Amino acid sequence: MTAPILSIRNISKSFGGIHAVRDVSFDVHQGEILGLIGPNGSGKSTLFNSILGQLPPDNGTVEVKGTPVTGMRASKLNRLGVGRTFQQLSVFPQMTVLENIIVAGQEHKGTLTSRLFGPPDAGLTAAADQMIEFFRLTHLRDTPAGSLSFGQQKLVDVAMAFMAGPDLVLLDEPAGGVNLTMLAHLKERLIAYNAEHGTTFVVIEHNMEFVMSLCTRIVVLAEGAIIAEGTPAEIRANQTVIDAYLGG
């Protein structure tokens, strides 16, 4: 059997007396869309940041495709095929949609200066155009990203994360602040990308309707620990989960 694409073992992280993440272990397999949910303050962001090297855990290990990566910097993780999106948008507002996506594609090649001011190679422009078409943003290709709606900017943000051709992408609240029409489009495109490329997603999300219809499996955190794990249907019916949300 192949190694999980992501394996988290006994991760703990405290801030002073606050045990933000307590002994969390789970695996994510190639091609899964895993939702990570939990009430406010349950440790989701801290766990993400521990997986992604931004916040080295106090205890525990992280492996990507069987390779130990605990505490590894984001740039090195990128080279291992791991990408992420942030709650906050990371588009350059004054640059066009195309330029933003090209810059993201150049990220693993050269310095920030060469990325911003160097000539894009033709292959990269073609790849960026394909990505723009995939997300149905062709009509906005040459529009400054800052003049797009928030939901459209979120799509650009996700497209940027996909430009490095990652095998695993951690998405931090992709639905936050996005209107219903754009949300349906974002979900449909994420599912299509997963089906076409086999890319694995781990998604932190508060929007239950979005996460339950997007994900194949859900892990639920409360007070830093896993309280449930299962299919969306199992999680919806789980009394411990319902109590954790009502209690929160």
Number of residues counted as binding ligand ATP (CB under 6 A): 11
Asked if 40 interacts with ligand ATP (CB under 6 A), we say yes
How far are the Cα atoms of 3, 107, 181, 210, 242 from residue 176, in angstroms, in the given order?
32, 25, 13, 10, 22
18 binds ligand ATP (CB under 6 A): yes
**What residues form DSSP beta bridges with 177?**
none
Q: Which is nearer to ligand ATP, 43 or 166 (CB)?
A: 43
Across the strands, what pairs with 144?
96
**What's the min distance (Å) between Cβ of 95 and ligand ATP?**
29
Q: Decide if 208 contacts 233 (C-beta within 8 A).
A: no
Q: Tokens 């109590």, residue? A: 243
Task: State the binding string over 169-188 for ligand ATP (x if CB under 6 A, else -).
Answer: --------------------
**Separation between Cα atoms, residue 141 and residue 168, nearest integer Å:** 26
Going residue by residue from 188 to 227, which x/- string records binding to ligand ATP, judged by CB under 6 A?
----------------------------------------
> Distance between the two ends of the chain, CA-based, in angstroms?
39
Residue among 52, 145, 136 nearest 103 (CA): 145
The phi-psi region of residue 37 (left if phi > 0; otherwise alpha if psi is between -120 and 50; otherwise beta) is beta
* 20 counts as binding ligand ATP under rule CB under 6 A: yes
| Per-position x/- string for 41-80, each x denoting binding to ligand ATP as judged by CB under 6 A, each - no binding | xxxxxx----------------------------------
Q: Does 38 bind ligand ATP (CB under 6 A)?
A: yes
Binding residues (CB under 6 A) for ligand ATP: these are: 15, 18, 20, 38, 40-46
